[in-house]
Amino acid sequence: MSENTESPAVSADAGGKSNMRAYERLLKYAVIHTTSDDNADTTPSTKRQFDLALLLAEEMKSLGITEVTVDEHCYVTGKIEATKGLEDRPCIGFIAHLDTAPDASGENVHPRIINDYDGGDVTLESGLVLSAGLFPHLASLKGRTLITTDGSTLLGADDKAGVAEILTMAETILKEEIPHGRIAIAFTPDEEIGHGARLLDIDAFGAAFAYTVDGGAENELEYENFNAAKAEFRIKGVSVHPGEAKNRMVNAALIACEISSMLPQAETPAHTEDREGFYHLTDISGDVEKAEIDYIVRDHDSSLFEAKLATLRMIEKILNERYGAGTVTLTVKEQYRNMIEKIRPHMHIVDTARKCIAAQGIEPVVTPVRGGTDGAQLTFRGLPCPNLGTGGYAFHGPYEHISAEGMDTVVSVLCDIVRSYAGQ
């Protein structure tokens, strides 16, 4: 069991240090509460995301990034002007998101540092055990500086690690005077609830193409993702006294259970992998009079995705025929589409990233994303945008962890991408 654990003291002015490593930035950002809210109808969904946005804007200015803005929707943008003589190189975008997932608490985050991690189990302060049984990759992190939660919250490396890595890349490019074309940077709100890219002004952003830095291991490269939608069933029941209920009562809670039973029981996240899609029950509540049951629906194959949505609509139809019109109302909200069909004409972006990952002495791993990123929406809006890893693992929960060395590797990958498109 690893016991060389420290509770990091993160100063408010950490952004002013020179030659800061990416993990130091992560520690600073992780303690800022930025959880998004799937039930809000505003952007940002939570005003607390401005706390990080405004801090980042000031840090960007201090690094020498220009045209820094935070707009009314909490989008942070900035530019790094091209090295003299390289103004004709394509403008590269780098994007990460500010918010953390509502799946677990993002408030009162207390990161923990394990120096020279021994590759074994880690007992977190809450009593949870970060174990090799659950996470076999832990052995590969032996000897690194491991950053974990205290077991009561998520860490927020998804995607504050991406934010930290992009700004560390920017600092490296500027301070070491690495030749570069124009670079555009954006940090977005509400990615975790599927809204992160919809209000980014792509024309003003100015990039010819971009990379989101929002994935897993540092050698990951992703340009295929789920088609995604949220499905909400709202059920109206008829509540009468149980003693007089025959042929009168319509139990909304039981209908919610019936909806669940009508879906393929094997098509859940717990039973699928790789490109296999699923229906994921996220919320269920109710009583006799009314009930709600919510799903997220995912599939890499667009035809199978449409078939899943058709199944949900058929369930709505069948139940309304069974219990009366208006008993069940289904609302489907599409979130993002599989980016691969729009990336294929621009495969140089993928090939360059693959080359830059390999240059770090690690094997690039191209995987289909069992989720989505801002890059999916941006790609369909006309900005080709594959996704790079951050070096993190076990996102969205108390087992989340990342290594300082993995983050360093990602920074090197980003710098090499910049060099590549500058012709260096």
Spot the catalytic one: 150, 158, 171, 191.
Answer: 191
Quote the DSSP letter at residue 61.
Answer: H
Burial of 45 (0-12, 13-18, 19+ CB in 10 A): buried
Supply the DSSP string of 338-405, one letter for each residue. -THHHHGGGTHHHHHHHHHHHTTTS--EE--BSS--HHHHHHHTT----EEE-SEESTTSTT-EEEHH
Burial class, 41, CB count within 10 angstroms (exposed 0-12 / middle 13-18 / buried 19+): exposed
Is residue 260 within 8 A of residue 266, CB to CB? The reply is no
- Angle formed at CA 84 by CA 78 and CA 88, multiple of 5 degrees: 75
3-state secondary structure of 169: helix
Q: Within a 10 A sphere around the Cβ of 18, how many other Cβ atoms?
A: 7
Please say whether the beta carbons of 294 and 281 come within 8 A: yes
The amino acid that residue 417 corresponds to is I
190 is catalytic: no
The yes-or-no answer on residue 299 being catalytic is no
Active-site option among 59, 99, 190, 316: 99
* Residue 187 · residue 93 · CB < 8 Å: no
Q: Distance of CA 351 to CAs 24, 107, 304, 356, 359, Å? A: 30, 39, 29, 9, 12
Catalytic residue set: 99, 191
